[in-house]
Chains A and B, each alone.
Chain A
């Protein structure tokens, strides 16, 4: 006699197949995560392997006589025209007295950075009393020497194939054996503006430019974004118009950033006649870029506030404005702030719109105000990546590490704001 299967039997019959499906799905999930982690790992590993050496720089010790007749001829200090490079050269010749001949001497002068003369000038400027004395100073070595010491230039390959000659290698070795060559922390990377000498190039100008831009961006975009979100969410009548605005805002969030740069060029620079390359204009463009992000995040945060809060406040006699500003806004603020911080970190990483408003430029002086010419951290990375000098490769990676550090800090801030201030319902 044929008996009908019970429900339990049916379930059990299908069970192995369902388990197999589940296992397969999990395996795919694990695989996808592993691939993601692998890419991230490779990215960080190459970045750190390449960039970490840039945080140290080779310095060499020279003993230089700050001759009064060179620095202050006739007793008058002339920092602009004094030949400090000549003093450095004399010091090098004294160190290697048997180097003779014009071309050999030229080669010798090239093992020290062009920054050595500037360093002496700054020393004299800070303390004019040292004029006439002999000073032992550590000055940056030329970038090719630095690359040699770091092992990025192989001294064993044919001389014609490397940017540093056999003689220069020998001098560097002599200095090293005498303890006059050292690798030290590369302070210049953090305290200098841009430079075409890799050993003098730093990111301070770019970091300042980015900071000034973000100040403009946050001061403008948070109040405007929050006000727009509150109005659209709490006060605006639901009509065809408000739907249209909503669709447009969502679309704007997906517009490629270069478009905002073009808009900035047309409106702020050509029409309003604001200066090119200024952090003010950069900040305005980034404001346009982050506004949709902030409005969308803020609206979501306001929507998440339960209606019971509003109803209770209204029930106790609060006006609509009071309900919003006393009850809804404080509860939505953590979400709005999180959205703002995420928007800011997107703004920090942008370079394309800045291209259009003249911020992709060689700027040595560190900007001090909103109208000074400035560049930004991602732009600095782009400019260094395009430089022919070898030593800029590691500095590019170092600048990327710094940028990632800032982004990490900002995202961490967003997480902390959310964790500490957010209320679960």
Chain B
């Protein structure tokens, strides 16, 4: 019709179209009404179906746990009669917020977290009716400080890390703070090379950043006696000193994409990057991890607890959802099975550092019994 119109003169077409139009007006109206009603129907039926039930496990939470949880979910989905769980990467804090919003099929069953749940989060959960939460510790993750494979090997102490990256560092006198004056690693510690301090790391929204600040920075910060004393007298000031990273360009926030950091390190041998152990594990021929307090970030050192910058990973489960959501119990069993999180399980191949045998069997039996978390206010 339109094609024809393009070739004919406008007048003849107009007449032609007018007849056509009269015939089809009623049809057009009907079609439009039909379309509108069917669409409204679609929207409401979708809404209703979401209310009535969900036949897959719904997981949210930490982007650090995401690579492990997805592997478990996929294996579970493929080897059971249940659907594959859906896993959203929302970050630890965002995940716990969604998790605590309520009980019911619209809310997640499980949230992954790269830190332990906070009391405030337990309270907000309880306020929304989420009273029984099962905590599952799944293993450890090391945070590494790495540089390009061709660059000189580094051995840092946590004190070096703190002095190189803090916004304010202790001055000459006790209690005196000065804007971080150090430009090169040699300024921090004469044993280190005279290369410019340039560190690429995660942004403040990241769980990796939280853990790095807490374990590495604060660990170094505590070695200054007068700051250590502040911890009991003025906790806020202590935190401000130990947890604030410099903003003068020596520390670059490189976003959440760790692959990007690895690429940048390859291009710039002077730069260091901060990321999870699993990325070091997968890129061993491109980057190498610096020793921290004379311990190299190896699988064994993290598993033994010798490497200082490592943290436990968790997930949290709503007890009320177990046996209501199909497959949730099976997902928990798969995650806590030896073939998944064991010494030689498939998660260890992905860079998760397993817990010691006893701790694993303890957590696994707690999960089997669905033992809820016992933080004070419940």
Contacts and interface: CB of A to CB of B under 8 A. Distances in A.
Interface in B35-70: 35, 39, 42-43, 45-47, 49-51, 56, 63, 66-67, 69-70
B77 A365 contact: yes
Contacts of A333: 2
A274 B345 CA distance: 38
A163 B278 CA distance: 12
Interface-central residue, B10, B17, B66, by most chain A CB under 10 Å:
B10
Contacts of B258: 386, 388
A138 interface: no
B359 interface: no
A161 B286 CA distance: 8
Contacts of A331: 5
Interface in B52-108: 56, 63, 66-67, 69-71, 73-75, 77-81, 83-84, 86-89, 106
B11 A275 contact: no
B282 A363 contact: no
Contact of B21 (A153, A322, A358): A322
A280 B40 CA distance: 12
B39 A358 contact: no
What class of interface size applies to chain A in its complex with B? 35 or more
Contact of A274 (B43, B69, B281): B43
Interface residues of B, number: 62
A154 interface: yes
A364 B83 CA distance: 9
Contacts of A334: 2
Given A322-B21, A389-B282, A371 B46 contact: yes
A371 B50 contact: yes
B14 A312 contact: yes
Contacts of B257: 385-386
Given A273-B51, A313-B14, A327-B17, A388 B282 contact: yes
B259 A386 contact: yes
A157 interface: yes
A223 interface: yes
A363 B86 contact: yes
Contacts of A196: 67, 70-71, 74
Interface string B268-288: 000000000011011111000
A371 B53 CA distance: 12
Contacts of B282: 163, 388-390
Given A118-B78, A273-B50, A162 B70 contact: no
Interface string B93-134: 000000000000010000000000000000000000000000
Given A330-B5, A370-B42, A370-B46, A160 B81 contact: no
A80 B71 CA distance: 18
A423 B13 CA distance: 13
Nearest to B25: A325
Interface string A383-422: 1011111100100000000000000000000000000111
A112 interface: no
A338 to B, nearest CB: 13
A361 B278 CA distance: 20
A265 to B, nearest CB: 11
A274 B49 CA distance: 9
Contacts of A387: 67, 259
Interface in A169-209: 195-197
Contacts of B256: 386
B179 interface: no
Contacts of B39: 219-220
A421 B17 contact: no
A57 to B, nearest CB: 18
A3 to B, nearest CB: 60
Nearest to B263: A393
A422 B3 CA distance: 9
B67 A420 contact: no
A277 interface: yes
B18 interface: yes
Interface string A330-367: 11011000000000000000000000001011111100
A388 B80 contact: no
A326 interface: yes
A318 interface: yes
A385 B259 CA distance: 7
A389 to B, nearest CB: 6
Given A80-B79, A421-B2, A275 B88 contact: no
Nearest to B18: A326
B32 interface: yes
A360 B91 CA distance: 12
Interface string A260-281: 0000000000001111111010
A23 interface: no
Nearest to A387: B67
B259 A423 contact: no
A326 B17 contact: yes
Nearest to A281: B46
A378 interface: no
A319 B67 CA distance: 64
B61 to A, nearest CB: 11
Contact of B18 (A274, A318, A361): A318
27 contacts: A80-B81, A114-B75, A118-B78, A153-B285, A160-B284, A161-B149, A162-B284, A223-B32, A273-B106, A274-B46, A276-B88, A277-B88, A309-B10, A322-B21, A325-B21, A326-B14, A360-B88, A361-B89, A373-B86, A387-B67, A387-B259, A388-B258, A388-B351, A389-B282, A421-B6, A422-B6, A423-B6
Given A153-B285, A312-B14, A326-B18, 11 more contacts: A161-B149, A196-B70, A275-B50, A326-B21, A362-B66, A362-B74, A363-B86, A364-B84, A365-B84, A383-B89, A387-B259
